């Protein structure tokens, strides 16, 4: 009888694992609550109007053509002892092998007020909601007669100075500097205020100190106000409370200050690492259930090795897991234990400007050549000719015509009429 593999999650890890298992005589089903794979590293550009969402979304069924199966659904419960999972539509699916690649969710650290009022850049609709909010804020400011309120509409706060926060901050400033003078003559560029609030002493934790400094200088040059050693403590939609003071009047808070494991991870047996991640054995298996593999952002090394929550790790973990399963089934010895090979890190800090660091070659640099490398790599990794062309078209609009690719304010479908 054909052995069944269930893959939970269609991000980089889950989709790559499914494709790596193609043609091996397994019945492979990928389960996701979205019917598309999303190229998440560019999601911040959707939030900043640089890119349309459709350019970075690829239908799962297209990726899984050639014998792999897709099931749209949300996992309600894992039933590891029974080797099955329960979906929220009541269906129970059983497996011989389970790949868990459910990733992370935004971490508001239990602060309900922030969770209610802040925006986040996680998922296609959420990123589009950021863009819609930015343009709604400009519209509100443009006919606001109370100067104090107008200033709040023109004040944008970003919580978190990791890659997403820094890249979004740069993209937002580039956007506003382009759009405001041309399309909002009622508003003055000088009234804009973009503040990035970072808990630690530097932006881009993990990068080398010179590149951290370069990113901070570049954001400041673009007009950002940086507040280090500061935490956002609350937000009511009008005022961002900070620790230490002072508070920042603003109608917009974009939260990039942390992620935590998908809530289903908490229901699993065994030990947890930082951020609720699941401690795995050297082959990314759950020690208690060796038929269960943990991939991507959810996996945590048992020997203290640092595994970053990035696409290269997700892809490497998927390839390793597929190899382990293949070896097991063919009765061959297992491959050497998983070891993460760091290809380097990069972050865009403005038009034609990025920081880049390739640790194993001791390379750290920034500027247009780093940006070109970033551009080429991302374009290469976007899936499908159509999506590459859409991305190129939007980037052409952004960079060459110096305009915003997408300024559309989206509303919920039920408000379409009249």
The stretch among 226-234, 310-318, 339-347, 403-411 that binds its own copies (CB under 8 A) is 403-411
Q: Examine the residue annotation and report whether 190 is marked as an active-site residue of this protein.
A: no
Place of tokens 């269609």: 10
Query: What is the torsional sign of CA 321, 322, 328, 329?
Result: positive
Burial of 361 (0-12, 13-18, 19+ CB in 10 A): exposed
Q: CB-wise, 70 or 97, nearer to its own copies?
A: 70
Does 61 bind its own copies (CB under 8 A)? Our answer is yes
Question: Total residues at the site for its own copies (CB under 8 A)?
Answer: 55
A 10 A CB-CB count for 271 gives 11
Does 406 bind its own copies (CB under 8 A)? Our answer is yes
Residues in 14-33 at the binding interface with its own copies, rule: CB under 8 A: none
Does 389 bind its own copies (CB under 8 A)? Our answer is yes
The CB-of-120 to its own copies minimum distance in angstroms stands at 7
Q: What is the DSSP letter of 400?
A: I
Does 91 bind its own copies (CB under 8 A)? Our answer is yes
The CB-of-58 to its own copies minimum distance in angstroms stands at 9
Q: CB-wise, 330 or 385, nearer to its own copies?
A: 385
Say how far apart CA 311 and CA 99 lie, in whole Å: 17
Question: DSSP of 167-213, one letter per residue?
Answer: HHHHHHHHHHHHHHHHH-TTS-GGG-EEEEE-SSSSSSTTS-HHHHH
Q: Which residue among 17, 47, 128, 219 contacts its own copies (CB under 8 A)? A: 128
Name the nearest CA neighbour of 44 among 198, 184, 160: 160
Q: CB-wise, 277 or 320, nearer to its own copies?
A: 277
The stretch among 169-177, 187-195, 221-229, 387-395 that binds its own copies (CB under 8 A) is 387-395
Say how far apart CA 274 and CA 254 lie, in whole Å: 23
Question: DSSP of 57-80, one letter per residue?
Answer: EEEHHHHTTTT-EEEE--EEEEEG
Say how far apart CA 339 and CA 2 lie, in whole Å: 31
Say how far apart CA 146 and CA 185 lie, in whole Å: 17
Q: CB-wise, 163 or 276, nearer to its own copies?
A: 276
Does 72 bind its own copies (CB under 8 A)? Our answer is yes
Residues in 235-274 at the binding interface with its own copies, rule: CB under 8 A: 262-263
Does 71 bind its own copies (CB under 8 A)? Our answer is yes
Does 125 bind its own copies (CB under 8 A)? Our answer is yes
Question: DSSP of 244-263, one letter per residue?
Answer: SS--EE-SEEEE-S-EEE-G
Does 7 bind its own copies (CB under 8 A)? Our answer is no
The CB-of-267 to its own copies minimum distance in angstroms stands at 13
Q: Which residue among 3, 27, 96, 139 contacts its own copies (CB under 8 A)? A: 139
The CB-of-222 to its own copies minimum distance in angstroms stands at 23
The values of phi and psi at residue 359, to 5°, are -60, -45
The stretch among 161-169, 217-225, 366-374, 408-416 that binds its own copies (CB under 8 A) is 408-416
Residues in 288-307 at the binding interface with its own copies, rule: CB under 8 A: none
Does 143 bind its own copies (CB under 8 A)? Our answer is yes
CA 169 vs CA 51, 77, 193, 418: distances in Å: 15, 37, 11, 36
Long-range contacts of 341-345 (CB under 8 A, 24+ apart): 341/316, 342/308, 342/312, 343/312, 345/163, 345/206, 345/207, 345/310
Q: Which residue among 34, 177, 351, 381 contacts its own copies (CB under 8 A)? A: 34
Angle at 306 between CA 227 and CA 263, to 5 degrees: 80
Does 111 bind its own copies (CB under 8 A)? Our answer is no
Q: CB-wise, 332 or 402, nearer to its own copies?
A: 402
Residues in 327-386 at the binding interface with its own copies, rule: CB under 8 A: 386
Query: What is the H or E stretch that residue 106 is in?
Result: strand 104-106
Q: Which residue among 319, 347, 390, 395 contacts its own copies (CB under 8 A)? A: 390
- Find the catalytic residue in 3, 27, 128, 167: 167
Q: Which residues bind its own copies (CB under 8 A)?
A: 34-36, 52-54, 57, 59, 61-62, 65, 71-73, 91, 102-106, 120, 122-126, 128-129, 135-136, 139, 143, 182-184, 262-263, 386, 389-390, 393, 397, 405-413, 415-418
Question: Which residues are the active-site residues?
Answer: 167
């Amino acid at each position: 009888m054909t052995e069944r593999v269930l893959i939970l999650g269609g991000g980089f890890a889950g989709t790559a694992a499914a494709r790596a298992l193609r043609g091996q005589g397994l019945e492979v089903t990928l389960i996701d609550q979205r019917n598309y794979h999303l190229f998440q590293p560019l999601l911040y550009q959707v939030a900043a109007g640089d890119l349309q969402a459709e350019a970075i979304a690829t239908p799962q069924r297209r990726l899984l053509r050639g014998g792999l199966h897709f099931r749209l659904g949300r996992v309600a419960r894992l039933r590891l002892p029974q080797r099955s999972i329960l979906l929220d539509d009541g269906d129970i699916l059983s497996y011989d092998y389970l790949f868990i690649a459910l990733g992370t969710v935004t971490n508001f650290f239990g602060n309900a007020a922030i969770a209610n009022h802040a925006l986040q850049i996680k998922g296609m609709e959420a990123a589009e909601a950021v863009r819609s909010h930015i343009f709604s804020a400009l519209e509100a400011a443009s006919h606001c007669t109370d100067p104090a309120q107008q200033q709040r509409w023109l004040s944008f706060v970003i919580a978190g100075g990791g890659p997403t926060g820094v890249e979004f901050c740069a993209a937002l400033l580039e956007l506003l500097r382009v759009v405001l003078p041309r399309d909002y003559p009622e508003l003055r560029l000088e009234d804009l205020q973009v503040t990035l609030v970072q808990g630690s002493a530097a932006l881009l934790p993990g990068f080398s100190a010179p590149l951290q400094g370069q990113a901070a200088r570049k954001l400041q040059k673009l007009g950002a106000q940086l507040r280090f050693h500061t935490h956002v403590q609350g937000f009511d939609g009008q005022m961002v409370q900070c620790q230490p003071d002072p508070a920042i009047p603003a109608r917009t808070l974009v939260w990039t200050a942390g992620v935590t494991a998908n809530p289903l991870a908490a229901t699993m047996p065994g030990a947890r690492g930082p951020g609720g991640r699941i401690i795995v054995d050297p082959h990314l298996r759950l020690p208690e259930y060796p038929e269960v593999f943990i991939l991507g952002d959810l996996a945590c090394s048992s020997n203290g090795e640092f595994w970053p929550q990035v696409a290269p790790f997700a892809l490497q973990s998927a390839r390793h897991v597929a190899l382990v399963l293949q070896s097991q089934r063919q009765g061959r010895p297992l491959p050497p234990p998983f070891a993460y090979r760091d290809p380097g890190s990069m972050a865009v800090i403005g038009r034609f400007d990025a920081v880049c660091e390739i640790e194993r070659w001791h390379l750290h640099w920034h500027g247009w050549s780093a940006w070109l490398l970033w551009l080429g790599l991302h374009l290469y990794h976007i899936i499908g000719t159509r999506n590459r062309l859409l991305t190129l078209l939007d980037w052409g609009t952004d960079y060459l015509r110096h305009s915003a690719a997408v300024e559309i304010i989206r509303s919920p479908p039920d408000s379409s009429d009249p």
